[in-house]
Amino acid sequence: MTHNSNKVVIFLGPPGAGKGTQAERLAREHGLVQISTGDILRDHVARGTELGQQVKPIMEAGQLVPDHLLIALIRDRLAAMGPVRVIFDGFPRTQAQAEALDLLLEELGAPVNSVPLLEVPDQTLIDRIVERGRQATARGEQARSDDTEETARKRQQVYREQTQPLIEHYQRRGHLYTVDGVGTMDEVYGRIVSGLK
């Protein structure tokens, strides 16, 4: 497995599907960099870059950073890499972002390779999220405010409305493959890897 060629993987999947954990392992074992737009934003703000100065007031006001700025930040990050070997997790979130990212990647000569979609039945996801909250409380920690059944259901509704167009976008391009997200971490990871192009 050569680590000197471009590779772009975009993770899709509902909240609670374990995307973050799987993306982390995939990055580690395949020489990929996990791209988190949140981390990039915070880094630019901390360094006081020109882009950082533009996004700081938007973030402080609790608003969403506009797509053109997000794409500029991602361009900055990817252009600094040798081969572009990345995993996107949590971006793109909308059709417009997906199209802008496609254009950027084509410009860099590093088009999307694979888009694994983790699929977990709704009730399983809700049980997982509620259980996560229950375990935190049992450990005497503050449970995340979103670890309730009602919030979990709402988040899934939002996820579905937002992500459905992305699923169709990557399906049309032939990048998407579905991964059964039920099973042990290792089982799910094995399915992700065997589907990678």
User: Per the annotation, where are the binding residues for ATP?
Assistant: 16-21, 132, 183
Give yes or no: 144 in active site: yes
Binding residues: 16-21, 37, 42, 63-65, 90-93, 97, 132, 144, 155, 183
Q: List helix spans (H) across 18-148.
A: 19-30, 37-47, 50-60, 67-79, 95-107, 122-138
Q: Which of 25, 56, 75, 155 is catalytic?
A: 155
Task: Specify the DSSP class assigned to residue 24.
Answer: H
Catalytic residue among 144, 154, 160, 197: 144
Rounded to 10 degrees, the C-alpha dihedral 120/181/161/51 comes to 150
Rg of the chain taking only CA atoms, in angstroms: 17
Catalytic residue check, 132? yes
Active site residue 93: yes
Between CA 75 and CA 105 the distance in angstroms is 9
C-alpha 147: how far from chain center: 20
User: Catalytic site residue 7?
Assistant: no
**Apex 185 CA angle, 98 and 36, nearest 5:** 30
Among this protein's residues, is 56 annotated catalytic? no
Q: Which of 56, 75, 93, 153 is catalytic?
A: 93
- Please report, in range form, the residues annotated as the binding site for AMP: 37, 42, 63-65, 90-93, 97, 144, 155
Catalytic residue (choose from 25, 56, 128, 132): 132
Active site residues: 19, 93, 132, 144, 155
